Chains A and B, each alone.
Chain A
Amino acid sequence: MADVTIAAPATETAEQADHSALHRTLFIAMAALLVVLPFIPVVGYPFFLMKVLCFALFACAFNLMLGYGGLLSFGHAAYFGFASYVAAYTAKHWGLTPEVSILLGTVSGAVLGLAFGALAIRRQGIYFAMITLALAQMVYFFSLQAPRFTGGEDGIQAVPRNALFGVLPLGNDTVTYYLVAAIFFVGVLLIYRIIHSPFGQVLKAIRDNEARAVSLGYRVNQYKLAVFVLSASLAGLAGATKAIAVQLASLTDVHWSMSGEVVLMTLVGGMGTVFGPIVGAAVIISMQNFLAGLGAWVTVVQGVIFVICVLVFREGIVGVIGKWLKKPL
């Protein structure tokens, strides 16, 4: 009897097949939406859309760690911002093509994630959050004090959009938008694949009961470090893409408030859901655009949203919809 209950099902159940069919439909719908979005009035500003997509990928990368690994990093701005500096610097001062700049940015995010992750996973829970925040603050101070690399208070402005692969010019926003949309889509698909792989299953097991995962013989720290590096690389990918798309890398990207923003996006959209962070990023960036004239009130509004989400809306927008549909989204 015991064998039957413990053994994993050899084939996926009808329910799981149903869920993957739904997810497949949603991904196809998302791809279609990405293609037509620039032509839809009101929201169809490529510049705005690119920003949303970069932050959405950033939030998805963050959610990979929080929602599926149960690890709250409060310093994800470090990987996002540092990668954005690397991409901006290599594009502007070395004249590298966008794909190489973005690749270098992603690699820098991965390296930083490896170093910081190895330190942070030595502690759990609340200490983990504090350590990641402190390490990220170190990156912020470095960026502040290394103006030759980061441009200091000015940041790296007017980052050139060199020709993609050296042949395809990224002259106008619409062309760049499609590059960003492609990167975003591939990034999200990758995250979806990671979540639904055996690796992702072990991650969820660690999230739900770390001691049990250890007793089952999993090397928990290796899994944590792996998801940390993956998340940091994808955050780096988002940051590097943002630097090329928005043509700016600045101190805002490495500041702790950016780390807070990505937490907020994930929380609003629904942590531990595939599509939640995307919705959350769209909501928060739209709100910032909408309230841009109000100055410090934006901070207050964000704080209020934080408090409301934590107190009464912990599932987030997509989490609640998923509950209605009785399907994980």
Chain B
Amino acid sequence: MFELLGIPPQALFGQLLLGLINGSFYAILSLGLAVIFGLLNIINFTHGAQYMMGAFISWMLLNWLGIGYWPSLLLAPVVAGISGVIIERLFLQRLYHLDHLYGLLLTFGLALIIQGLFRNYFGSSGLPYQIPAELRGGQNLGFMFLPNYRAWVVVASLVVCLATWFVIEKTRLGAYLRAATENPTLTQAFGINVPLLITLTYGFGVGLAAFAGVLAAPIYSVNPNMGADLIIVVFAVVVIGGMGSILGAIVTGFGLGIIEGLTKVFYPEASATVIFIIMAIVLLVKPAGLFGRTA
């Protein structure tokens, strides 16, 4: 076996893969945040809680209704998305005429409520979720062992991210969305139902977060706090990437995940803070973010 800079390849590639997986979650979550922010001008603090809800909904579907991983991959985002639609209609809609900061505060409050309720009911120790039978085991690639499920997570996230990019940039619905982001009043004047578009966009963003949650359920244990710390890292990712571009969010998400993975190999003490340090550097060098447009 060869060694790279004194690090066994097993450890190096293992951490790289884990970094790639975290990166997929960063990418999906920051993508959802960017889509929501684009149209609603609200930073969705509930995003982490909604990611956690995705994982819990799939756990509940399995343990209470006997519905397995594959259907819940679709069902959980839909259920979470509907809850998002309700939240938008009930609360967020009342805030659009106010300062953006109220949206942040409201969604923060909602996150506290959701996380508190789940913690009351399920405790905070975490629940196991089995990897689906089709994806157990793994491939020996010679230089490393590749668990099938982890490969699937990376591929599925990439597909979902690219599909989202395609829908927003290349379809008619996406064109409406981009038009409403640019100028809602004018778009409405053209006969497009912007309030409905806003509601559906929020639901879709929440659905994306829940999808990431379902993917995460078999890797990390299903835990009421799983989204709380993650969302802060995702905020840093969003600051680094800037929310102007969809592809930018995807690239930044995956890139930072990989950097975090590498840090775990070479300097583990800094692995928790490396993304925040990169954020500080980016703010010094390019305050608008790597892919951001200056306002």
Set of chain A residues within 8 Å of B114, measured between Cβ atoms: 303
Q: Is the CB of A306 within 8 A of B108?
A: yes
Q: Dominant SS at the A interface?
A: helix
A271 to B117, CA, bound (A): 28
Contact of A295 among B102, B105, B112, B120 (CB under 8 A): B120
Set of chain B residues within 8 Å of A138, measured between Cβ atoms: 273, 276-277
Q: Is the CB of B239 within 8 A of A127?
A: yes
Q: Is the CB of A130 within 8 A of B109?
A: no
Q: Is the CB of A296 within 8 A of B120?
A: yes
Q: A125 an interface residue at 8 Å Cβ cutoff?
A: yes
Q: Is the CB of B120 within 8 A of A297?
A: yes
Set of chain B residues within 8 Å of A119, measured between Cβ atoms: 280, 283-284
Q: How far is the CB of B147 from chain A (nearest CB, A)?
A: 28
Write 20 A-B pairs (CB below 8 A) sorted by A numbering: A72-B101, A74-B104, A122-B283, A124-B295, A130-B235, A133-B235, A134-B232, A134-B236, A134-B276, A135-B280, A137-B236, A144-B272, A260-B108, A297-B116, A303-B110, A304-B109, A306-B106, A307-B109, A311-B106, A314-B102
Q: A199 an interface residue at 8 Å Cβ cutoff?
A: no
A80 to B8, CA, bound (A): 42
- B residues 217-240 near A (Cβ < 8 Å) are 228-229, 232-233, 235-236, 238-239
Q: How far is the CB of B285 from chain A (nearest CB, A)?
A: 10
Q: Dominant SS at the B interface?
A: helix
Interface residues as binary, A251-266 with B (CB distance below 8 Å gives 1, 0 otherwise): 0000010001001000
Q: Is the CB of B105 within 8 A of A299?
A: no
Q: Closest residue to A146 on the B side, CB-wise?
A: B269
A129 to B238, CA, bound (A): 12
- A residues 284-308 near B (Cβ < 8 Å) are 295-300, 302-307
Q: How far is the CB of B66 from chain A (nearest CB, A)?
A: 29
Q: Is the CB of B43 within 8 A of A129?
A: yes
Set of chain B residues within 8 Å of A144, measured between Cβ atoms: 272
Set of chain A residues within 8 Å of B101, measured between Cβ atoms: 72, 125-126, 129
Set of chain B residues within 8 Å of A302, measured between Cβ atoms: 109, 112
- Known contacts A130-B238, A134-B232, A311-B94: A123-B119 contact under CB 8 Å: no
Q: Closest residue to A304 on the B side, CB-wise?
A: B113
Q: Is the CB of B239 within 8 A of A142?
A: no
Q: Is the CB of A256 within 8 A of B109?
A: no
Q: How far is the CB of B22 from chain A (nearest CB, A)?
A: 15
Q: How far is the CB of A313 from chain B (nearest CB, A)?
A: 12
Interface residues as binary, A117-152 with B (CB distance below 8 Å gives 1, 0 otherwise): 001101111110111011101100110110000000
Q: Is the CB of B43 within 8 A of A126?
A: yes
A298 to B116, CA, bound (A): 8
Q: Is the CB of B272 within 8 A of A145?
A: yes
Interface residues as binary, B186-207 with A (CB distance below 8 Å gives 1, 0 otherwise): 0000000000000000000000
- Known contacts A123-B283, A303-B113: A130-B236 contact under CB 8 Å: yes
Q: Is the CB of A303 within 8 A of B116?
A: yes
